[in-house]
Amino acid sequence: MNGHFPWLTVMAALPFAGGLLVAALPAGKRLLAKNVALAVTLAELVLAVIVTVKFSPDGDRYQMTESYSWIKSFGVHWALGVDGIGVVLILLTAVLMPILVLASWHDADTPQVRMDGTAGDKAAPRSTHAFFALMLMVEAMVVVSFAATDIFVFYIFFEAMLIPMYFLIGGFGGAQRSYAAVKFLLYNLLGGLVMLAAVVALYVVTANQDIGGAGQGTFDLIRVSQAVASGELDINPAAEKAMFLGFMFAFAIKAPLWPFHTWLPDTMTEATPGVAVLVTAMVDKVGTFAMLRFCLELFPNASKTFAPLVVTLAVIGIIYGALLAVGQTDIKRLIAYTSISHFGFIIMGIFAMTTQGHSGATLYMINHGFSTAALLLIAGFLITRRGSKTIADFGGVQKVAPVLAGTFLVAGLATLSLPGLAPFVSEFLVLIGTFSRYEVAGVFATVGIILAALYVLVLYQRTMTGPVKAGVEKIKDLNVREMVVVAPLIALLLVLGVYPKPILDVVNPAVEDTITRVEQNDPKPTDPIVPAEQQLAADTHGGNK
């Protein structure tokens, strides 16, 4: 047992225990269930702040590490630890969860929509207890995924989070919720099964070379990645490529990367707004995080080999997602395709394998979480008021609900990466980092920026401006609870837009360590800068050479 306080284990246990408590409350105590869920997420936020403050960017790569023997015969340990990337993503999760609980306060109070789209029995509302208990379970599993330093432990929770997500989507979504939930589950289970084969293969390789000691293999991420970096673990190139593809396939589905993305639009369209944010702002980030932590560090040579292919797929995803967003008639589906485009930027930054690209990609994970949460939740408030998610049913909202329209505009401008708002800095870093190694990809990726301006501004123009359409006049402005949900998200978008340094200071040491392990150096400029007088002399005498 470690000598220090097990902060990360407590952070994982608190929402899990809170979920069990909420589920065990008497059926009639709906308000109590909500309050307990909110209290647990606030306590988790306090713990996340403490862990972030305790983390030292100048210290060891992995800090607050814990390791307890679990399945001794296979070398499996309950091993947790955070680097700069993991700690900021845990903080993102902890910040968003109380916001999502408040935003979803009444989502389980209303009758379930039938499969034919009609309202269910008003006397039979859905289970508030199950809804919030499942949300807390997902939070616990996401925290473990960001902190796990045992590959087997990571795999278990990477897969286990599918179970509560399946019930959140299928039990509390729209008319096509069952289809969306099954599609979500099947896609991600397929990825997980392929990854399991790669996990077993990696263990066999470490066992054959006695990396775990005593003739055993090991699932210790830190030990294996160090052995790979030092050359102690020699993996056959063909086997390394196969294992990389096994891991990457699962992460590409979770992320989601084109063409493995098709489950996301259905899921986000049918899920409640809070659950949709849970998917795209937290669960999907596990996929992009894992690309950094597992693919690049465990299989550096294979990562370099497949990097051009992955960057190409990411660029296609950027443009594809943006183009399809432009043509959508459903507000939530439009936002889903914007997320596919944004995940393309994140993955492109990761596989550009430059310090700017990695820093930008990690910062993008944070900023995308806040911007998408703001846009989706405000859109959810709007859809609930109107009773429709079809863009054509709106118009003139800013005249009857100016605060709602104003916050929707800020969230939309953040989504298109307007300078001064948080996503701009991360997108700029990703483009710089990509352009320095893959110029053509960087150029094509900028098309996504132009299309983003189109789909966001057209969405705002069609829903918020112009004459007030029939049915819109009844829309009320944001109430106090909704303002409490939206205000911190808008504030974070503004603050991180002008001062992202605190996050970058925490992230950059881990980024530099990853780049070193992959043995990639930032490309040097091809045209060195020379003093003007030397350039003039060269131009004058160039014909005499």
199-214 confidence digits (pLDDT tens):
999 988 888 877 766 6
Confidence (pLDDT) at 35: 93
What are the φ/ψ torsions at residue 69 (nearest 5 degrees)?
-60, 135
Q: Which residues of 76-132 form beta strands (DSSP E)?
A: 76-82
pLDDT range class, residue 229, cuts 50, 70, 90 = confident
| Angle, vertex CA 204, rays to CA 201 and CA 209, nearest 5 | 135
**Of 140, 138, 122, nearest to 130 (Cα)?**
138
User: Looking only at Cα atoms, what is the longest distance across the chain?
Assistant: 94
For residues 266 and 542, the model is more confident at 266
pLDDT, average across residues 299-319: 92
More confident residue, 540 or 281: 281
| Rounded (to 5) percent helix, strand, coil in the chain | 70, 5, 25
Q: Rounded mean pLDDT of 36-52?
A: 95
Low-confidence winner among 299-303, 362-366, 529-533 (lowest mean pLDDT):
529-533
Q: Is the pLDDT of residue 530 over 50?
A: no
Q: Output the pLDDT for position 529.
A: 47
Residue 115 has pLDDT above 70, yes or no: no
The helix (H) or strand (E) run that includes residue 71 is strand 63-71
Distances (CA, A) of 443 to 248, 359, 438: 25, 19, 9
Q: What is the mean pLDDT of the chain?
A: 86
Q: Does pTM top 0.95 for this prediction?
A: no
Band the pLDDT of 28: cuts 50, 70, 90.
confident
Q: How confident is the model at residue 116 (pLDDT cuts 50, 70, 90)?
A: very low
Q: Which of 342, 192, 351 shows the shortest CA–CA distance to 268?
A: 342
Which pLDDT does position 451 carry in this prediction? Answer: 87
> What HEC string does 227-278 produce?
HHHHCCCCCCHHHHHHHHHHHHHHHHHHCCCCCCCCHHHHHHHHCCHHHHHH
pLDDT at 113 over 60: no
Residue 382 in this model has a pLDDT that exceeds 50: yes
- 116, 75, 97: which is closest to 11 by C-alpha? 97
pLDDT at residue number 438: 87
pLDDT band at 542 (very low <50, low <70, confident <90, very high): very low
pLDDT tens per residue, range 50-83? 999 999 988 888 999 998 888 887 778 899 999 9
Q: What percent of the chain stands above pLDDT 70?
A: 91
Which one, of 340, 417, 335, lies nearest residue 372 by Cα?
Answer: 335
Confidence of residue 117 (pLDDT cuts 50, 70, 90): very low
Q: Tens digit of pLDDT for each residue in 422-448?
A: 999 999 999 998 988 888 888 898 888
pLDDT over threshold 60, residue 477? yes
Residue 185 has pLDDT above 60, yes or no: yes
Encode pLDDT of 503-515 as tens digits. 999 999 888 888 8
| Mean pLDDT computed over 220-238 | 86
Indicate the range of 25-34, 289-298, 413-422, 532-541 predicted with least confidence: 532-541
pLDDT band, very low/low/confident/very high, at 139 (cuts 50, 70, 90):
very high
Backbone phi, psi, residue 153, to 5°? -60, -45
pLDDT in tens, 386-406: 888 888 888 888 898 999 999
Contact between 62 and 76 under an 8 Å Cβ cutoff? The reply is no
Predicted local confidence at residue 91, as pLDDT: 95
**195 pLDDT above the threshold of 90:** yes
Contact 466, 396 (CB under 8 A): yes
Half-sphere exposure of 1 (CA within 13 A, CB side): 5
pLDDT higher than 80, residue 532: no
